[in-house]
Structure 1
Amino acid sequence: MKIPLSPLSAVLRALTVHALRPALHAPDTEVMTYADLAGATARLVTHLRNLGVQTGAHVLLIGPNTTDALLAFHAVPLAGAVIVPLNPAFPDDALRFLAQHAQPAAALVDTRDLPRVQDTLTALNVPVVPTGPGAPLLERLGGLSPAPLTLPDTLDEDQPISINYTSGTTSDPKGVMLTHRAAFVNQANLLYHLNLRPPSRYLHALPLTHGNGWGAPWTVSAAGATHLLPGDSLRADLLTRGVTHLCASPALLAPLSDPAAPLTLGSPTRVLVAGTSPGPRLLGTLTAQGFEVLHGYGLIETSAILTLTDPADLPPAPPGQPPEALTRQGHPMAFAGEVRAVTEDGQPVPHDGFTPGEIVVRSNQVMRGYHRNRAATRRALEGGWLHTGDLAVTHPDGRLEILDRAGDLLHLGGQPVSSAQVEAALYRHPSVREAVVVAAPHPDAGQIAVAFVTLHPGAQVQGRELQRFCEPLLPAHACPRRVHVVTDLPKTASGKVLRHVLRRRAASPETSAAGLR
């Protein structure tokens, strides 16, 4: 017997088995039980079908992390449709372009973002369901008859459950088509490695519209755990709301490492850190504060997280200090398939912790392809492997350590240097909150390393001091020749630093003349 694999199967189980347990708690609202969530989901399924949403249709979701957004992640796929979350942090022109490119049959849009896309959706004749402030969706659904909550009759595990855009670019749009099967395997990995259980309280610190919140909406419900929607600040949520689990990027966690505002958790909180490489100091700070830190790696194209280092797999470290191996992104997760760093001719790199190679992936978590972009799909999946464009080394214990994107490797003094290694040296300074290193042209040296850093509030360190701080930690050719202390770093909607913007700044005569500050 074979039935389609989908994360919805475990969600449907939880809606029944855990009917009386708390399912969802947003700030300043009453707790919804799983029975409440089931009823609201069933009525939204009815509403979508009344709008003409058919099997396989695309339904846009635009807005922040709200009860309505979480409800959409349950109802849209249970209606047999494909959810297309668009991050509201995208610029207006990108939102409008992607809203058209996604070919939606309906759209759920937060009232705060609706003016940005209303004209586009009207021109496309797409029915809009307003959500969020001023448009209480739960109240409007109250008069509808609930649809039966079952797996769609025509469910195909190889069909998309979501389309997730990696950026807002109009030149090469990459809408990642993630299948039910891929989302199921991701769900199984998260349930196992995060150890989510019915008493767990998961904080949705990541935007749900970025990579489906790394799959958390379906995974937390599968566990029968409580979804916590974020309040005014991450620090306050951690101190007052009994958070047991969260996933976050280093950028989200960086404010917690401010030495002027120490944080001590009342009980252990398991946090999965991924997105970019966290500095050793941030990992050490989080460990000392009471976090159980898991360090992972993945892409939207791999249904989010794919590899992991878990301290439970490592020898004990001194109290309050992270194991050295925690700085690495680890082994493939339990059901993640094959993940390798390979040379240009496709051979696995030696396990020496030194030789870099591109990460390639063969896994059930890999996307089906990019929506309406066959050329990009062919490039990414050439030879039956997903080519990530990320560089890594493999250590003797088999753990991967991410270095850079292939285009981000620095060539300093005639030698390849990972920007991550230079950034790690800067992160060892207690005043540094964020650090990014890029290459800039130099008339004599060819290329030099230029650093852009932000500081913790109240810190007064100067760029020249940071340069001297790095000198004993790095080879001479790898030391940053200029360090610019800045207020903010340019970032994408998902929080990743726009390195190409910093490269232009580093190469400009004005920035060069500014020197070390």
Structure 2
Amino acid sequence: MLPILGRSPASRVAHAGTALDPQELLARATRAAQLLPPGSRVAFDGGNALTRLIHFLGADLAGCATLFLEPAWTDGDRAAVLADARPDLVLSLDESPGHAADGGERTVRATYRHQQAVHPTTEPSERTVRATCPMPAGSELTHFYLPTTSGSSGSPKVLIRSRRSWLRSFAALGLPLAARDRVLVPGPLSSSLFLFGVLHALHSGAEVELLDKWSAADAADASRRATTVHLVPAMLSALVSTLEHDPVLRAECSLRTVVCGGAKVDEALEERLAKVLPGCALVEYYGSAEHSLIAVRRGGPLRPVVDVEVRDPVDGVGELWVRSELVFDGYLRGGEIVPAATEDGWSTVGDRAALHSDGSLDVLGRAGSAINTGARIVGAEEVESVLRGAEGVLDVLVCATPHPRFGELVTAVVEIDPVAPPSLRELRARVRRALDPAKRPRRWLAVRDLPRTASGKPARAVIAERLRAGTLRTEAL
């Protein structure tokens, strides 16, 4: 049995034209587990999507907690993450001659980080790791995963997760899958959003297809075989655009369900999806790295799946607090677990929200992304959701730029579709119809590609810094 699945594998995993049956997946995960000291913290670097999944399952089998290093991190972010996580072992999963990346018994060159309190400044030493170890399944309380926050608004933080928090999140999503389903996961497993999609599918007994990196064309091709796909809104917009422009791919698409997280799906994008794939259901969820799932939407409004409160509301909008058994166990700082700050089990990550009398929830984003313009506070995510579904807009990030009179200007940085770019006149008309005057962007910038986090979300802090430094490459809109 694989502990984080709560079962033995029962379905295939496909990647790059090959597929592993359940028995081979379990065998490779078992061999990967034999490389690891039981109960340790391990960090995996490099490797393709299948290699990462095998070693993640192997680490869980060995009772280890896994950290995936993200290739897109800066040297500073990488160093900060390693300093906080203090893994016992850092393994490179990149293939080298004679080393099959299948989790087999092999010699691995690894960086071993001593955690002895008496030598806190000891330099990491190189050693050869060849471990054949018992593989304790542990319990649901075992720490199995060290996710990192996305870094969209600053340097990533390292969290620590129990198996229970994810096993119960699978049920909270409420997405029924069967053996006949094939789930496409087209993003990196260093993002907890995509890792969750893979593990949920395997837990449900559905087949999985992995892509090493996001490509709308590759995802559209894989959607000929897949019945379900996990995406963020920017990916959904690009996939819909690809299908809109290719009637053959559209006719052959087998998708019946789109699962979307990371940001709100605009109504116009949802309508485009319904038009290009009639009958395809959209399941949208809201959560955070700290809280896992908080609310899910299927056809109607967003509804909480855990206890929520909106505190100190002004005009109906306040700070969202959550009480749940799906939450994380704390942050890692200098290798030590710092428990999450709670009030009688309630905690917050600073999201602003409105809770309505019918029990539905509107999430308006973090207070840190708010823009103070002309003595009005504007939520960046609200403006982004209006623009994200527009024709020709692949994604958008709204941020502040300084202004001597208004304090800050609402600035829209739009990632445009190079085939059919949007009209600035149409975008302005769109925000006039949907937003109060204070919330409408006053500055418009176009880019070919927005800098992104591992989960595919726009890297808010990176874009803001490039705007301040004048290094963001823009073009006329």
Whether 2:296 is the aligned partner of 1:308: answer yes
Answer whether contact 2:185 2:210 (CA < 8 A) is retained: yes
Deviations 1:224-243 (A, max 9, x none): 22121227844444445521
Distance in 2 between residues matched to 1:112 and 1:167, nearest whole Å: 27
Answer whether contact 2:111 2:127 (CA < 8 A) is retained: no
2:379 to 412, 415, 418: 418
Distance in 2 between residues matched to 1:332 and 1:389, nearest whole Å: 17
1:45 corresponds to? 33
2:411 corresponds to? 450
Shift of 1:100: 4.7
Whether 2:287 is the aligned partner of 1:298: answer yes
Secondary structure of 2:13 counterpart: strand
* Letter of the 2:347 counterpart: L
1:271 corresponds to? 258
* Letter of the 2:14 counterpart: H
Change (3 A) 1:470 1:217: closer
Answer whether contact 2:371 2:410 (CA < 8 A) is retained: yes
Could you list the runs of 5+ residues in structure 2 that have no partner in the other structure? 97-108, 114-122
Deviations 1:315-346 (A, max 9, x none): xxxxxxxxxx3xxxx1223xxx3123222xxx
* Letter of the 1:14 counterpart: S
2:106 corresponds to? none
Shift of 1:111: 1.9
Secondary structure of 2:225 counterpart: coil
2:427 to 466, 470, 475: 466
* Letter of the 2:78 counterpart: L
1:106 corresponds to? 89
Distance in 2 between residues matched to 1:424 and 1:495, nearest whole Å: 16
2:14 to 21, 25, 33: 25
Secondary structure of 1:38 counterpart: helix
1:205 to 157, 175, 186: 186
2:169 to 183, 186, 194: 186
Answer whether contact 2:43 2:66 (CA < 8 A) is retained: yes
Change (3 A) 1:243 1:184: same
Whether 2:352 is the aligned partner of 1:391: answer yes
Whether 2:325 is the aligned partner of 1:370: answer no
2:205 to 224, 242, 249: 224
Change (3 A) 1:380 1:254: farther
* Letter of the 1:209 counterpart: S
Could you list the runs of 5+ residues in structure 1 that have no partner in the other structure? 1-6, 130-140, 315-324, 344-348
Distance in 2 between residues matched to 1:172 and 1:483, nearest whole Å: 27
Secondary structure of 2:398 counterpart: strand
1:61 to 41, 44, 61: 44
2:399 corresponds to? 438
Answer whether contact 1:248 1:271 (CA < 8 A) is retained: yes
Change (3 A) 1:255 1:58: same
Larger helix proportion, structure 1 or 2? 1
Whether 2:309 is the aligned partner of 1:340: answer yes
Distance in 2 between residues matched to 1:237 and 1:433, nearest whole Å: 15
Answer whether contact 1:164 1:212 (CA < 8 A) is retained: no
Whether 2:5 is the aligned partner of 1:11: answer yes
Distance in 1 between residues matched to 2:374 and 2:475, nearest whole Å: 20
Distance in 2 between residues matched to 1:496 and 1:101, nearest whole Å: 23
1:75 corresponds to? 58
* Letter of the 1:370 counterpart: Y
Change (3 A) 1:389 1:35: same
Answer whether contact 2:86 2:334 (CA < 8 A) is retained: no
Change (3 A) 1:431 1:41: closer
Change (3 A) 1:34 1:112: closer
Answer whether contact 2:266 2:385 (CA < 8 A) is retained: yes
Distance in 2 between residues matched to 1:510 and 1:45, nearest whole Å: 45
Shift of 1:156: 4.2
Distance in 1 between residues matched to 2:30 and 2:395, nearest whole Å: 44
1:134 corresponds to? none
Distance in 2 between residues matched to 1:33 and 1:119, nearest whole Å: 29
Shift of 1:260: 4.0
Answer whether contact 2:293 2:326 (CA < 8 A) is retained: no
Distance in 1 between residues matched to 2:326 and 2:463, nearest whole Å: 33
Secondary structure of 1:275 counterpart: coil
1:406 to 357, 367, 372: 367
Distance in 2 between residues matched to 1:506 and 1:468, nearest whole Å: 25
Distance in 2 between residues matched to 1:81 and 1:501, nearest whole Å: 32
Secondary structure of 1:185 counterpart: helix
Answer whether contact 2:308 2:322 (CA < 8 A) is retained: yes
Change (3 A) 1:378 1:9: closer
2:104 corresponds to? none
* Letter of the 1:273 counterpart: C
Shift of 1:480: 1.5
Q: What is the identity percentage for the equivalent residue pairs of Structure 1 and Structure 2? A: 27
Distance in 1 between residues matched to 2:441 and 2:65, nearest whole Å: 47
Answer whether contact 1:62 1:110 (CA < 8 A) is retained: yes
Whether 2:239 is the aligned partner of 1:245: answer no
1:163 to 108, 124, 146: 146
Distance in 2 between residues matched to 1:172 and 1:486, nearest whole Å: 23
Q: Once superposed, what is the RMSD of the aligned Cα atoms? A: 3.7
Greater CA drift, 174-183 or 485-494: 485-494
Shift of 1:166: 1.7
Distance in 1 between residues matched to 2:155 and 2:385, nearest whole Å: 32
Change (3 A) 1:112 1:28: same
* Letter of the 1:196 counterpart: L
Greater CA drift, 406-415 or 174-183: 406-415
Secondary structure of 2:372 counterpart: strand
Secondary structure of 2:333 counterpart: coil
Distance in 2 between residues matched to 1:110 and 1:375, nearest whole Å: 26
Shift of 1:261: 4.6
Secondary structure of 1:371 counterpart: strand
Distance in 2 between residues matched to 1:41 and 1:414, nearest whole Å: 56
* Letter of the 1:276 counterpart: A
2:438 to 444, 460, 477: 477
Deviations 1:433-470 (A, max 9, x none): 22222233323333331211121123354546633553
Secondary structure of 1:430 counterpart: coil
1:177 corresponds to? 160
Distance in 2 between residues matched to 1:309 and 1:87, nearest whole Å: 30
Deviations 1:77-122 (A, max 9, x none): 1112112222222224433443454232333323279xxxx89669
Change (3 A) 1:437 1:162: same
Distance in 2 between residues matched to 1:63 and 1:478, nearest whole Å: 42
Distance in 2 between residues matched to 1:128 and 1:409, nearest whole Å: 49
**TM-score, structure 2 normalization:** 0.81
